[in-house]
Structure 1
Amino acid sequence: MGFISDFKAFLMKGEIVTLATAVIIGGAFGKIVTSFTNDVLMPPIGVLLGGVDFSDLKIVMQEGIPAVMNGETEVAPAVAEVAILYGSFIQTILDFVIIGFCIFMVLKAYERTKKKEAEAPAAPVGPTTQEQLLMEIRDELKRRP
């Protein structure tokens, strides 16, 4: 087969489609968790800590410098602030913990269903040896006059 047909066969495999669906849903779920953390969870925590907005927490290493202007002419360009944004890092860690907990709960539920399937008794494949012997005896008795 050619390269294009091999690639098409690869893309049409069930596992690839399932994986792509999982990645898309995971991305959307990540956005939901980020919104939950930033918009629902962090504001009350900030209020409890004295009105702190976690997204504003940072360690400034170098202050930003505005551009120096001489009329309409820029004499010196602006220098951006250099800071460690540890508040954003804390929010990202909370996102990770929430997503990890949700995945843990889904996997626990999945394992529970798998255990139930494994515990379910399998249907007997055929008659037991005892039943088979009894059927042979019955058939033999029917044939005798």
Structure 2
Amino acid sequence: MGIIQEFKQFAFKGNVMDLAVGVIIGAAFGQIVTSLVEDVITPLLLNPALSAVNADKIADLSWNGVKYGSFLSATISFLCIAMVLFWLIKGANRLTRTAPEEAATPAPPSSTDVLLMEIRDELKKGHSS
């Protein structure tokens, strides 16, 4: 098999295409979440909270050249994004959740299993007598 044939087989398998679609959808979803955090949650919730504790410019905080404010800002952004993702995924799971299925009844034993159980039982009878 030639290298081009192998590449075609690899590149156009369903798994590779599904992965590519997933990455593209994930990037678009990431933009939605980032916009939600930066454009909605931060102005409505985070900025007023930071103003209340006189930390409006948290990213500008530094000490002896160490910009710990940038780290704090990135950490707060991460926590906000993680919380929004948690809420979105929890909501999506609630929408897609199906009713609990009835307790699955075990399948009846196959004819081979029945035969093996009979042999086992006969062997037990033979050893006990």
- Of the three residues 88, 91, 97, the one matched with 2:83 is 97
Aligned CA RMSD, in angstroms, stands at 3.1
- Mapped contact 2:50–2:56 kept (Cα < 8 A): no
Determine what percentage of the aligned residue pairs are the same residue: 29
* Structure 1 counterpart of 2:3, one-letter code: F
Partner of 2:13: 13
Within 5 Å, give how 1:57-68 maps onto structure 2. 57-58=58-59, 59-63=61-65
Unaligned regions of 5+ residues in structure 1, if any?
64-81, 120-145
Q: CA offsets per residue over residues 58-87 of structure 1, 9 Å max, x none?
A: 441334xxxxxxxxxxxxxxxxxx412212
Alignment of 1:14-53 (within 5 A): 14-45=14-45, 46-50=47-51
1:83 corresponds to which letter in structure 2? K
TM, length-normalised to structure 1: 0.53
Moved more, 45-54 or 12-21: 45-54
Q: Could you say which residue in structure 2 is the equivalent of 1:3?
A: 3
Number of equivalenced pairs: 99
With a CA cutoff of 8 Å and minimum separation of 6, indicate the structure with the bigger relative contact order.
1
Cα deviation per residue 1:100-127 (whole Å; 9 max; x = unaligned)? 33234334544428x67x99xxxxxxxx
Give the C-alpha shift of residue 53 in structure 1: 9.6
How far off is 1:44 after superposition?
1.8
Note the residue ranges of structure 2 that are not aligned, 5 or more in a row. 104-129
